[in-house]
Structure 1
Amino acid sequence: MTAVASKGSSGGTALPEARIIPRDQHPISRKQISRAALNVLYGLHEQGFQAFLVGGCLRDLLCGREPKDFDVVTDATPEQVQRLFKRSRIIGRRFQIVHVRFGREVIEVSTFRAFQRDDQELDRDQHSAHEETGLVLRDNTWGSIEEDALRRDFTINALYYNIADFALYDFVGSRRAIERGEISLIGDPEQRYREDPVRMLRAARFAAKLGFRLDQKASRKIPELAELLLQVPPARLFDEVLKLFLSGHARASMQQLQDLGLFHFLFPETDRSLKGPQGKVWEKLILAAMDNTDRRLAQDKPVTPAFIFAVLLWPVTVARLEKLRADGMPPAPALHKAAGWALNQQVQHTAIPRRFSTVMREMWDLQDRLPRRGGRRAEALVQHPRFRAAYDFLLLREQAGELPAGLGDWWTRYQDADEDQREAMVQALGPNQGASGGGKRRRRRRKPANSQG
């Protein structure tokens, strides 16, 4: 390993030395890097620009995992990158980056960013890019690779792979942190969390995904600063929730969020329900749904945000429903109103696109309809486009103990039965199943979609 001397300082902050790890001293090979990423790296390098892979892709390769994305960093400006690659576009205002497309793959290219100088050295434009709280609103001041390394959030995400010599450049002890399985922040934790409160969620997610531990400095400030998540746009928090719960490590993510005091600021009403009289039941339901989602992802089966959000907000919906029913409102309108209230409360914290909230409402509505199977109702329900998701939801509710077992088994058998067997099952229910219409009616059977919604 070779050390390269620091190139000076930035606003009084000493820049780190690069520890260069030659190709023969690390396991990362170009064969492990996507062709699209190599095209971008070589395209920049051949035009005289510096070009490095950076961050999570290198961390994952060193951990024996297959990266989902390859990110590139360079000294070329976004405009220069865009001129080099035909199928590219500059995106973002807060952080300008370039998306370069090769076929279906998109490579994210960013320019080295400058390290944040002391307040007294900030010019007028830089001041306007920060709130008094410390939240970074805009960060498009370019710098050197050394400064860029200091701007990375965690040591495990600050490793660089140079396409010029295939060496790893390590400025902040990244390789050692990865080998030790330890997550630590680069710089002062409070300052870094205030710059971007989502870093607290990222810390929880990396700990859950990688099985790494947060060091004391990284974890100690999170409960104290968790309220800063209220400053983050709900649309951005929705995306972060998807990464936490739809990436194959949902249960571990849930545990990290609760341990660090973050869950309350993502799902405040759900958190209150978990601490209420039925808290144990709701916890079983939520964890069962997360295990189900993780299992489906491991089996390459489809999942949808609508399902996990429907489960997370079900305790809130039920609590409101019970209150409305106690006030004398009939079941169907009470459920409709309770669902609307739960969604309206939640979107103040994590935005839920209508295409998902509509599915959630349908799943909840079917929970009320699934017990009513008389006449032609059972056949109509099994043809409903959300039946399979609602059925899976029903099974989880029984598994958690919210409902007595039995109804889920009936629907399992009904789906496997032929038309005559289905008719017999409905007839055996007796006259108190809300039958509508007479006689036997044969209908073409449609196989339910194998999805959560």
Structure 2
Amino acid sequence: MAASNADHGRATLPYGPATITPNIALRIIPRDQHPISRKDISPNALRVLYRLRDSGYAGYLVGGAVRDLLVGGHPKDFDVATNATPEQVKQLFRNCRLIGRRFRLAHVVFGNEIIEVATFRANSDDGSGDRELDNGRLVRDNVYGTIEDDAVRRDFTANALYYAIEDFSVRDYTGGFEDVQARTLKLIGDPEQRYREDPVRMLRAVRLAAKLNFQIDPATAEPIKPLAPLLGDAAPARLFEEILKLFLSGNAVASFEGLERFDLLRVLFPETAAALKSNRSGALRRMLLEGLAGTDKRVAHDEPVSPAFLFALLLWPAYCRALMSLQAEGVHAEEAQRRAADRVTLHQLNTVALPRRFSLPMQEIWLLQTRFAQRQRKRVLRLLTHPRFRAAFDFLVLRLAASGEHADDVSFWREAQLQSPEVLATSLTSTGGVGEEGEGATRRRRRRRRRTGATSAE
């Protein structure tokens, strides 16, 4: 594909022990040589771009929106890059607020939509800017520069593409246009240095490759396994947000497989990784993948997915392994379940900041599983009214992917939900073996004790 070239130069990234000096060559891809149309861009983003232009500033649609539009996607977020400072942007838009410490940004608010406007960032600090490094990692960066500087500071070439509103062209400084066409994800600069600068980029590589169905460039992929332990030093709150992006964006299965392939799963979920490795039958992994596939379907249909349910799924192998260990030590079943849930949650907090508003419902989903084997009338009616019943039942259905022994329980509770409380209560009272007392109830209680071990061994 032909394109014009101009404005050659070089830019330097002052990160890591050495200096990254990528070649910069602007390639302009005219409107008739790319598929991006204004009708596919948020009208609010266009308003921001036109206001910047009319006020004498440069403004470009940038990053993921440009990348996704080039591959036929439908971006939800539209970001703008400009040579206007955040304060200057705020002067142009009454509906603007300034946010951020590490990166000072302008958010232009249009109802439920926010257009993020970032000032071009510079690659070097002459002392007049606001940049802070901590052991080679960037903790604050508000040094402004040119569009060329901004391009080489971005992480992947596919994210360093700029859509110009004045002529509807795409500006490419790092070869990203060709990489997008080749469906390749490539880091700008030296991959090892870029990962050391921000280890979370390893997760972004996996997530974007899964989302876009891109291949990770070999040079970009090679350092991930040896550098994976660096993720352990990332802020737990930031890792929580990254996990939500990995698994709640509609590509959970591919993201999970990418984490496994690059040894990142054992850093993010060490006890889950250990449990999957020791589960020779593969039942736990089958269940986990089944659950993630269901998550992808819900996202595709714009249905909500609770982070509590997601983490219940991701940490279930760890819970099962902890439960088996406690039972082997002779701990009573109910006590073992509570202790296993607390142990797994506490250990996971060392890596990922899982808020209590999600960890507590997660534990309830686990602890309700053994109650599905109980058919006494009062217990059945009580469980049906439990606020976590539906989530726990959906989780029970997932467990069929690991073990067919749950089929009877799934059938019973599926039917129970279709009956009125009066009809259900009558049927439970009149059915042998499921009343409040008697020989049938005793048999059911004894069988539940035997099933506890089966739960933990899936």
Asked if these proteins are the same fold (TM beyond 0.5), I'd say yes
Question: Do residues 31 (structure 1) and 33 (structure 2) align?
Answer: no
Structure-2 separation of matches of 1:78 and 1:232: 28
SS of equivalent residue, structure 2 residue 368 = helix
Matches within 5 A, 1:348-387: 348-387=350-389
Structure-2 separation of matches of 1:225 and 1:250: 23
User: In the alignment, what sits opposite 1:447?
Assistant: none
User: In the alignment, what sits opposite 1:446?
Assistant: none
Give the length in aligned residue pairs: 430
The one-character-per-residue Cα deviations of 1:72-102 (angstroms, maximum 9, x if unpaired) are 0001111111222122222121122111101
Tell me how far 1:417 sits from its aligned partner.
2.6
The one-character-per-residue Cα deviations of 1:80-129 (angstroms, maximum 9, x if unpaired) are 11222122222121122111101110011111011258xxxx75987x72
Greater mean alpha carbon deviation, residues 318-327 or residues 421-430: 421-430
Tell me how far 1:322 sits from its aligned partner.
2.7
User: In the alignment, what sits opposite 2:132?
Assistant: 129
User: In the alignment, what sits opposite 2:310?
Assistant: 308
Structure-2 separation of matches of 1:425 and 1:328: 37
Q: Indicate the RMSD between aligned Cα atoms, in angstroms.
A: 2.2
User: In the alignment, what sits opposite 1:19?
Assistant: 27
SS of equivalent residue, structure 2 residue 115 = strand
Amino acid of the structure 2 residue aligned with 1:129: E
Matches within 5 A, 1:92-103: 92-103=100-111
Q: 1:154 to 1:322 in 2, by over 3 A?
A: same
Tell me how far 1:431 sits from its aligned partner.
4.0
The one-character-per-residue Cα deviations of 1:295-348 (angstroms, maximum 9, x if unpaired) are 111222211111110011122222222333333433333222221111111111
Q: 1:74 to 1:158 in 2, by over 3 A?
A: same
Amino acid of the structure 2 residue aligned with 1:371: A
Amino acid of the structure 2 residue aligned with 1:19: R
Amino acid of the structure 2 residue aligned with 1:46: D
Q: 1:188 to 1:417 in 2, by over 3 A?
A: same
Matches within 5 A, 1:213-228: 213-228=215-230
The one-character-per-residue Cα deviations of 1:378-399 (angstroms, maximum 9, x if unpaired) are 1221121211110010011122
Contact 1:281 1:402 in 2 (8 A): no
Amino acid of the structure 2 residue aligned with 1:42: Y
Amino acid of the structure 1 residue aligned with 2:164: N
Gaps of 5+ in 1: 437-453
Contact 1:377 1:435 in 2 (8 A): no
User: In the alignment, what sits opposite 1:162?
Assistant: 164
User: In the alignment, what sits opposite 1:55?
Assistant: 63
Contact 1:373 1:435 in 2 (8 A): no
Gaps of 5+ in 2: 14-18, 439-458
User: In the alignment, what sits opposite 2:152?
Assistant: 150
Structure-1 separation of matches of 2:363 and 2:10: 58
Question: Do residues 277 (structure 1) and 279 (structure 2) align?
Answer: yes
User: In the alignment, what sits opposite 2:94?
Assistant: 86
Contact 1:335 1:365 in 2 (8 A): yes
Tell me how far 1:165 sits from its aligned partner.
2.0
User: In the alignment, what sits opposite 2:320?
Assistant: 318
Contact 1:15 1:146 in 2 (8 A): no
Q: Name the TM-score, length of structure 1 as normaliser.
A: 0.90
Greater mean alpha carbon deviation, residues 277-286 or residues 373-382: 277-286
SS of equivalent residue, structure 1 residue 137 = strand
Structure-1 separation of matches of 2:430 and 2:265: 46
User: In the alignment, what sits opposite 1:253?
Assistant: 255
Amino acid of the structure 2 residue aligned with 1:101: V
Q: Percent identity?
A: 47
Contact 2:82 2:120 in 1 (8 A): yes
Contact 2:365 2:388 in 1 (8 A): yes
Greater mean alpha carbon deviation, residues 272-281 or residues 222-231: 272-281
Contact 2:323 2:336 in 1 (8 A): yes
User: In the alignment, what sits opposite 1:67?
Assistant: 75
Tell me how far 1:373 sits from its aligned partner.
2.5
SS of equivalent residue, structure 1 residue 114 = coil
SS of equivalent residue, structure 1 residue 73 = strand
Q: Name the TM-score, length of structure 2 as normaliser.
A: 0.89
Structure-2 separation of matches of 1:17 and 1:213: 24
